[in-house]
Amino acid sequence: MLIANLRKNCTACAPIFAVVDPTTEDTFFVNAQLLARKLSNRSTNEDRKSLVNRSGLILENVTFVLLDEPPQALESPPEPLEPILERLYVELCLSSLESSHTSTASLPELVLLPSDNLNPHVQVPLAGILLDYPIAYVPMPKPRSHDTPSYLNRHALYAFDICLRPLRTGDALELMKFSCPAEFLAPESSTTRNLNALREQLEVVIQNLNSNIDGGDGPQWEIVFSHSRITMDRVAL
């Protein structure tokens, strides 16, 4: 009902649908067009019919970090996640990407993920993709011990906080909060480029927002990026 009302009352919400994890009951609200562009990793209309016919799935503007000791950057998402991304892409996102006028008739309001292969090795990076984070953690497929795994304990991290702040008065609104192992943030690294791409993407969105609120005379906003270097006993995923 919520998605139906959004689509009815807001044309910009036409490509929105919900993805539900049945094992955790987590719900993600996803823009089909934006997800399709991320998964296709192409800006042209070349062959987009499938993801699986390419060797390795490379996603745009996201770094996958395997939580090994030490952490490792992966070139692609974990293999068990690829069938889920393939389904989302082919069944839900492809039509919205190929049409400038998204048809909600063929786009379901809710998608229930298959529960058979859902585990932290898949769930955590999938959440990172759906939330459009530039960093997606990937827990090891099998913990090294039977104890509850402790992730990135006493590991140097950069914690990022991205807020939407009014230019005049009022409280800032938190948009994103995430972390990244410090060793992945060299000036020329792909992770740093992904962070810069996120900043540029959000700045364009806010410029459009400011120019369209009451013809540009409404409240004005700015994006604020802040970060700090931290170490923690453990990081919650």
Q: Which tens digit of pLDDT belongs to each residue from 145-154?
A: 566 678 899 9
Q: pLDDT band at 99, cuts 50/70/90?
A: low
What average pLDDT does the segment 39-64 reach?
60
pTM score of the predicted model:
0.84
Q: Say yes or no to pLDDT of 98 above 60.
A: no
β 16-20/110-112 pair status: parallel
pLDDT recorded at residue 146: 60
Residue spans of alpha helices (H) in the chain: 2-9, 32-40, 82-87, 94-98, 120-130, 190-212
Segments of the chain assigned E as strands:
16-20, 27-31, 63-66, 72-74, 110-112, 135-138, 157-166, 173-181, 221-230
Q: Say yes or no to pLDDT of 159 above 60.
A: yes
The share of the chain scoring above pLDDT 90, in percent, equals 38
For 208, residues 6+ apart whose C-beta sits below 8 A from its C-beta are none
Cβ atoms within 10 Å, residue 104:
18
The share of the chain scoring above pLDDT 70, in percent, equals 82
Q: pLDDT band at 44, cuts 50/70/90?
A: very low
Greater confidence, 153 or 102? 153
Cα 26 to Cα 44: distance, rounded to the nearest angstrom? 33
pLDDT recorded at residue 46: 45
What average pLDDT does the segment 28-43 reach?
79
Q: Say yes or no to pLDDT of 56 above 60.
A: no
Q: Say yes or no to pLDDT of 1 above 80.
A: no
Instruction: Out of 34-48, 61-75, 210-224, give the one with best mean pLDDT.
Output: 61-75
What is the rounded average pLDDT for all residues in the chain? 83
Partnered with residue 177 across adjacent β-strands are 161
pLDDT recorded at residue 167: 86
Poorest-confidence range of 72-86, 100-114, 164-178? 100-114
Greater confidence, 214 or 61? 61
Q: pLDDT band at 26, cuts 50/70/90?
A: very high
pLDDT recorded at residue 207: 87
Q: Say yes or no to pLDDT of 216 above 80.
A: no
